[in-house]
Structure 1
Amino acid sequence: MKVAVTVWDERISPVFDSAHTLLIVDIKNDKIKNIVYKSFDPELEARLIEELSVLGIEVLICGAISQTYSTLIEASAIQLIPFIGGNVNEVLESYAKGNPLSPSFLMPGCREDNSLV
């Protein structure tokens, strides 16, 4: 499974709409493989979805995300896991092992149903 995470330094980027780097990994047998960093421009909405599809991204993990991007990503059949925060390696390790990311990595002020508190 190919997973993309918006990153800023070693953390999940807090806001998808202003992120500029994706960390892309393959997850096979609960292990993270083939780590690649890719720059992207979230302002080019149509190109972003096309690029994610070409890269074969199946899951996108990110922090806060606007409704516009959320709708576009979900319509492209990419599983979106929004409102996640924390150290990117810890998040990916947990996800690779099949552990739920909520509530452990849920951003402050958010609930598991992706609504605000």
Structure 2
Amino acid sequence: MKVAVTYENEQVFQHFGQTSEFKIYDVEDGKVTSSKVVSTGGKGHGSLAGFLKDAGVDTVICGGIGGGAKTALAELNIRVLPGVSGKVDEQVESLLAGNLVYDPTIQCSHHGEGHKCHD
């Protein structure tokens, strides 16, 4: 299993499409065997799904995420676990322990100059 988490200052970054980094974890037998922070290289929104697929990721943990990104990830068989906040390492450990708190109904919509995440 390979898990990617939207990343900023050791916290889950709250907007998938605007993340500039992911922390990617290699997991074997339910344990993290390695992790590294990788830059998206300026990629955003739609191109992030391909970026993650190329990195071998099969699960994404994030805060908010738009419908288009959810669809793009699903088409690549990448599981999305949105609505997460807190320290990235702790959230991955929660996932592996089977008790990650996330909300699959979270979806970001853009409104004018800002954006709003809602169910």
TM over 0.5, yes or no? yes
2: CA distance between counterparts of 1:63 and 1:6?
A: 8
Question: Which consecutive residues of structure 2, in runs of 5 or more, have no partner in the other structure?
Answer: 107-117
Q: Deviations over 1:53-85 (max 9, x none)?
A: 121101011110111111111111101111111
Q: Percent identity?
A: 26
Mapped contact 2:82–2:104 kept (Cα < 8 A)? no
- Residue type at the aligned position of 1:39: S
TM-score between the two structures when normalised by the length of structure 2: 0.79
> Match of 2:32?
32
Partner residue, 1:101: 100
**Count of matched residue positions in the alignment of Structure 1 and Structure 2:** 107
- Structural mapping, 1:56-71, within 5 Å: 56-71=56-71
Q: CA RMSD in A?
A: 1.8
**Larger strand share, 1 or 2:** 2
Give TM-score scaled by structure 1 length: 0.80
The 10-residue stretch of structure 1 (36-45 or 74-83) with the greater mean CA deviation from structure 2? 36-45
